[in-house]
Amino acid sequence: MSKNILEVSNLQILDSLTGKKLVHDSTFQLAHGSCLGIVGESGSGKSLTCRAISRLNKAGLRQSGGIRLGEVQLAELSEREMRNIRGRQICMIVQNGMRAFDPSSVIGVHLRETLTRHFGWSRAEIITRMKASMESVMLKDPISVMNSYPHQLSGGMLQRVMIALALVMEPDVIIADEPTTALDTLSQFEVIEQFVQLRARIGSSVIFVTHDLGIVRKIADEVIVMKDGIIVEQGPTHDIFARPKHEYTRCLVSTRAALNQHFKEIMGGVSHTDC
Ligand SMILES: Nc1ncnc2c1ncn2[C@@H]1O[C@H](COP(=O)(O)OP(=O)(O)OP(=O)(O)O)[C@@H](O)[C@H]1O
Ligand SMILES: [Mg+2]
């Protein structure tokens, strides 16, 4: 068995209307049970890359290259086969929880539809499993959460519902595209803690997109740095922080270090961040 659960080779994404290349020739791997961080400025192609893996990019975008999940080349699958992979083997956790759920149904309906489709479980079994999972991510009163519409829950709660669902689904790969950006600092911290536990408990491999280098340092084993649709640097997290090779990465790392130093100075020498 390969040590990689996911291998992306020479991924290209083009805007078929203008012919503009949005992602150039990306090649990277995700090892079994590891976490790959993707960082890069806004518009650098991080979300396009994530959606390309699940084949969820808009019809106007054309993608080519290989995406191998386990032994399966995803490009060769029919849309129906791909739907079975989504959720069951690849779970996406997105930035805006509100968009991930149907606004006209209560959360429980979404959970039942997803879990019945993939596992054929009964309603009672779904409620029992989701209740336990929600409690484990510190969602209080799971039954009332299941009976709520998305707009009745906070961003942090919706994020936790997605993580609780991923815990029940036990996918091979979790793709989290800036899952904490819309949250306040305390919720961000708690959601990251849940991710760390989720990996420890179900051993999923994770792709984690973020602007926050502190988060990358905390949870990623390997890092990809993207700029203008190109992977400018990739490698083990420790190496990227200790010896950034590309000018852009050096700039990212030194900006963070400078911010941290400034923070230390205004706090009188006490730093609350971890790098
Ligand atoms: N459907 C589309 N059609 C044409 N261009 C698109 C489409 N979706 C995204 N793009 C362009 O592709 C580029 C990469 O977009 P992408 O959303 O992947 O960036 P990102 O790195 O995720 O940025 P952010 O950090 O802001 O989320 C951007 O220039 C964007 O304008
Ligand atoms: Mg994005």
Q: For residue range 160-218, what is the model confidence (pLDDT) as tens digits?
A: 899 889 889 989 999 999 888 777 787 788 878 878 877 888 888 999 999 888 889 88
> For residue 259, which of 203, 208, 214, 195 has the smallest C-alpha distance?
214
Q: Are 173 and 207 in contact (CB under 8 A)?
A: yes
Each residue's pLDDT tens digit, 86-131: 988 999 988 777 788 999 999 999 999 999 989 999 999 999 999 9
Taking the mean position of all CA atoms in its chain, how far away is CA 241? 21
Q: Which residue's alpha carbon is at the smallest distance from atom 29 of ligand 1?
A: 43
Identify whether 63 is part of a domain: no
For the cut 60, the answer to whether the pLDDT of residue 136 exceeds it is: yes
Identify whether 59 is part of a domain: no
Identify whether 61 is part of a domain: no
Q: What is the number of the ligand closest to the CA of 229? A: 1
pTM of the model: 0.89
Q: Are 204 and 174 in contact (CB under 8 A)?
A: yes
Question: Which atom of ligand 1 is nearest to 51's Cα?
Answer: 18
For a mutational test of ligand 1's pocket, the pick from 48, 51, 53, 212, i.e. the residue with the most ligand atoms closer than 8 A to its C-beta, is: 48
Identify whether 161 is part of a domain: yes
The conformational region for residue 235 under phi > 0 = left, psi -120 to 50 = alpha, else beta, is: left
The span from the CA of 101 to the CA of 106, in Å, is 9
Q: Which residue's alpha carbon is at the smallest distance from atom 26 of ligand 1?
A: 42
The span from the CA of 65 to the CA of 145, in Å, is 41
Mean pLDDT of 71-81: 94
- Phi, then psi, of 49 in degrees rounded to 5: -65, -45
For the cut 60, the answer to whether the pLDDT of residue 62 exceeds it is: yes
Identify whether 180 is part of a domain: yes
For a mutational test of ligand 1's pocket, the pick from 26, 38, 47, 225, i.e. the residue with the most ligand atoms closer than 8 A to its C-beta, is: 47
How far is the CA of 155 from the CAs of 85, 169, 171, 184, 216, in angstroms?
26, 21, 23, 9, 21
Q: What is the pLDDT of residue 275?
A: 34
Which CATH number goes with the domain that contains 192? 3.40.50.300
Boundaries of domain holding 182:
80-266
Identify whether 53 is part of a domain: no
Q: What is the number of the ligand closest to the CA of 57? A: 1
Identify whether 129 is part of a domain: yes
Residue position matching structure tokens 């997803």: 114
> For residue 165, which of 189, 197, 198, 141 has the smallest C-alpha distance?
198
Q: What is the pLDDT of residue 268?
A: 67
Any idea what the Cα angle at residue 158 is, between residues 154 and 164, rounded to 5°? 140
Looking only at the bridges linking them, the beta strands covering 61-69 and 4-15 are antiparallel
Q: Which residues surround ligand 1 with Cβ inside 6 Å?
A: 15, 22, 40, 42-48, 58, 60-61
Residue position matching structure tokens 């959460």: 145
SS3 for 254? helix
Identify whether 162 is part of a domain: yes
- In total, how many domains does the chain have? 1
Q: Which residues surround ligand 2, an ion (CB under 5 A)?
A: 46-47
SS3 for 66? strand
> For residue 159, which of 180, 132, 133, 134 has the smallest C-alpha distance?
180
Taking the mean position of all CA atoms in its chain, how far away is CA 99? 15
Question: pLDDT band for position 1 (50/70/90)?
Answer: low
